Amino acid sequence: MITAGGEDGVVLLTITATASPAMPVARDLGFLLHKHPDRAQSSEVFGGTAHVLWPEAGDERATAVLLLDVDTAALQRSRGRRETPEGFALADHVNDRPYAASSLLAVALGKVFRTALAGRCDARPELPAQPLPLEVHVPSLVSRGGAALVRQLFEPLGWDVDAAAQPLDPQVPEWGESLVVDVHLRGTLRLADALSQLYVLLPVLDDAKHYWVSTDEVDKLVRAGGDWLPAHPDRELVMTRYLRHQRSLVRDAVARLDDVEGLPLDDPSSTIKEALHTDPCTTSLIVEGGVEGVGANEEKATPLAVLRREAVLAVLREAGATSVVDLGCGEGALVRELLRDPRFTRVVGADVSARELEKAARRIGAGSTTGNLPDSVAARLELLQTSATYRDDRLAGVDAVTLVEVVEHLDPPRLPALERSVFAHARPRTVVVTTPNAEHNVRYPALAAGAFRHPDHRFEWTRAEFAAWASDVAERRGYVVVIKPVGQDDDEVGPPTQMAVFTRRDAKEEAA
C-alpha cells in the first residue's frame, strides 16, 4: 500500500536482473532484495518515503525500482552544509536535491535493502554469492566530474557504463551540460557488491553530503567498501570525497583500510597526500594550496603556505618585533605560530570576517566554549574584527603588521585606504606584505592561462608591479622597503610568492 509522502520531489534507481544459469528465474531477484515482486512496499526513511516497485517481474526479466518520494521540508530541517553561490538565500527552497540521486538515495538504499547489502538471503542462501547479469539505471545521477567520472569510477568495478550528461536547459544551449547524468550500468556482479558500490559512489559523485561527516562515516565506508574499495584505482578520491576532505578522518580510514588489505600508501602524488598537505589555514588557502600544491616542482616537501609563514616569522624575529597584528589572519595559522614563540608578547589576529575569526578562535583553542589555552598564552592573544578600509585605533602602537596574502583580495581602488590605515594610521616599525607572483603562475599546470590562483583574487601582480607599488608606498609613507622571494626562486619566472618588508624610516635611523 502506497502512503502519501511529501510534496516535493522524486528520485529513483532501478535494478534489473535477467535470467541466467546462476538465477534461472529473474523474479527471484525479489528473494535477494527481500521484497515481494507483486507488491508495492513503502517505508519511512530519512528525507521522505522510500517505495519499492516492480514495473516488471517475469521469468526472463525482473526490475525493482527504489523510488524516494522526497519531502523537502524534512530535508530542510536536517540540511547539511552545501556550497551555494554567495547570497543565494533561497538555497533551502530552490535546489536540485529533491530530484538528484545523491546521498539521500544512498541512505534510503542502505535502509531498504539492508539485508541484501549484507549479502544475506535466507530463502535462497546460495544466491548472494553468485555473480548475476544486472542492469542498473539511475536517471538523475548528479556527478561533480560529469559522465567521465561516472565511467572512471564504475568501469574498474566491472560495469559496462552508458552515461549521458543532461543539458542544463535545452533552450539555452550555451549553458552547456548540467551535473545530471543519465546512467545505465550493465555487468555481472554479486548483487551485494552492486548495491554497496552504489551506496558509496552515489554520494562520492555528488560530493555534497546532506549530513555531517562523523567518525560513523569511517565505519560505513570500511564496511561498505571493504571488499572492492582497496583495489579501486581511485580509492583515494573516493575516500576523500566520501569523507568530505576531513583530514583526520581520511587518515583514519586509510589506516583501517590498510589493516583490511595491508596495502601501503606510497604514492606521494596521491589525492590523499594532497589532502593531507593542503593548508588548513583558510578556506581560500585550501583552494589555493590545491593549485600551488600541484606545481611542477614534484618533490617539494614543504607546502608554500608553510614556507610563507616561516619567511614572515623570520622577518619579524629579525626586526625584534614583540607585538604583531596579523591583518587578514583568516583561520589564524600565522597567529598560532606567533603564539608558539614567547618573544611575541602581544599577538593580534585581525580579520574582516567574523566567521573566519570564530574559526580562528576554535583552531587556536581560544573559542568561547572550547577555549583551553593556558592563561599565559591567552593573555598574549587578541582576536579582533576590523577592516583595512576603515581606520581603527586599536591597531596603532604595535611593532609590526603582517598582510599575508591579503592585498590581492582587495579591489585596486581600495588599496589607498589599506595603505592609509596600515602605513599612516597604525604606522608600525615593520610591515610585511606577501602576495602571489603572477609570473610564476605558468608553473602551475592546473591553472588555466591568465587565471588567478583563487577566485576571490582581484588581481595578481608581476614582480615589477609589486615592486612599483611597494616602493611608491614606502616613498609616500616614510618607509624603506626590501623585496624578498618566498619559495623556490625560478630563474625565469621568479618565486611563487613575493614578500615586501617595510621598515619605518625613523626606526631604521634609530637602529643605525
The residues in 17-56 that bind other proteins, with binding defined as CB under 8 A, are: 38-40, 51, 53-56
- Shortest Å distance, C-beta 424 to other proteins: 7
Nearest to 436 by CA among 418, 409, 416: 409
Report the distance separating Cα 237 and Cα 474, nearest Å: 47
Confirm if 314 and 305 have CB atoms less than 8 A apart. Answer: no
The residues in 89-148 that bind other proteins, with binding defined as CB under 8 A, are: 89-91, 93-96, 98-101, 137, 139-140, 142
Select the residue interacting with other proteins from 24, 125, 167, 320 (CB under 8 A).
167
Cell of 97: 536535491
Return the number of the residue (188 or 387) whose C-beta is nearest other proteins. Answer: 387
Q: Which stretch binds other proteins (CB under 8 A): 172-180, 209-217, 224-232, 360-368?
A: 172-180
Report the distance separating Cα 184 and Cα 162, nearest Å: 5
- Shortest Å distance, C-beta 499 to other proteins: 23
Select the residue interacting with other proteins from 390, 397, 445, 508 (CB under 8 A).
390
The residues in 249-268 that bind other proteins, with binding defined as CB under 8 A, are: none
- Shortest Å distance, C-beta 118 to other proteins: 26
Residue count (the chain)? 512
- Shortest Å distance, C-beta 126 to other proteins: 28
Exposure string for 97-125, b = 16+ CB within 10 A, e = fewer: bbbbbbbbbbbbbbebbebbbebebeeee
The residues in 392-431 that bind other proteins, with binding defined as CB under 8 A, are: 392-394, 409-410, 413-414, 416-417, 420-421, 424-425
- By CB under 8 A, tell whether 451 contacts other proteins: no
- Shortest Å distance, C-beta 208 to other proteins: 12
Return the number of the residue (264 or 413) whose C-beta is nearest other proteins. Answer: 413
- By CB under 8 A, tell whether 389 contacts other proteins: yes
Return the number of the residue (20 or 178) whose C-beta is nearest other proteins. Answer: 178
Nearest to 345 by CA among 366, 321, 362: 321
Return the number of the residue (133 or 139) whose C-beta is nearest other proteins. Answer: 139
- Shortest Å distance, C-beta 89 to other proteins: 3
- Count of CA atoms in the C-beta half-sphere (13 A) of 91: 11
The residues in 175-194 that bind other proteins, with binding defined as CB under 8 A, are: 175, 178-180, 182
Select the residue interacting with other proteins from 44, 60, 169, 216 (CB under 8 A).
169
377-382 long-range contacts, Cβ below 8 Å, gap at least 24? 377/339, 380/339, 380/344, 380/345, 380/346, 380/347, 381/335, 381/339, 381/347, 381/348, 381/349, 382/346, 382/347, 382/348, 382/349
- Shortest Å distance, C-beta 236 to other proteins: 27
- Shortest Å distance, C-beta 86 to other proteins: 9
Helix (H, G, I), strand (E, B) or coil at 369: coil
- Shortest Å distance, C-beta 207 to other proteins: 14
Nearest to 416 by CA among 498, 473, 481, 458: 473
Report the distance separating Cα 37 and Cα 122, nearest Å: 17
The residues in 313-352 that bind other proteins, with binding defined as CB under 8 A, are: 352
Return the number of the residue (140 or 441) whose C-beta is nearest other proteins. Answer: 140
In this structure, what are the phi and psi dihedrals at residue 17, rounded to the nearest 5 degrees?
Answer: -110, 140
Report the distance separating Cα 52 and Cα 29, nearest Å: 13
In this structure, what are the phi and psi dihedrals at residue 403, rounded to the nearest 5 degrees?
Answer: -125, 85
The residues in 53-72 that bind other proteins, with binding defined as CB under 8 A, are: 53-57, 63, 65, 67, 69, 72
How many residues of this chain interact with other proteins, rule: CB under 8 A? 80
The side-by-side arrangement of strands in the sheet containing 323-327 is: 381-385, 346-351, 323-327, 400-404, 430-436, 497-504, 479-486
- By CB under 8 A, tell whether 512 contacts other proteins: no
- By CB under 8 A, tell whether 435 contacts other proteins: no
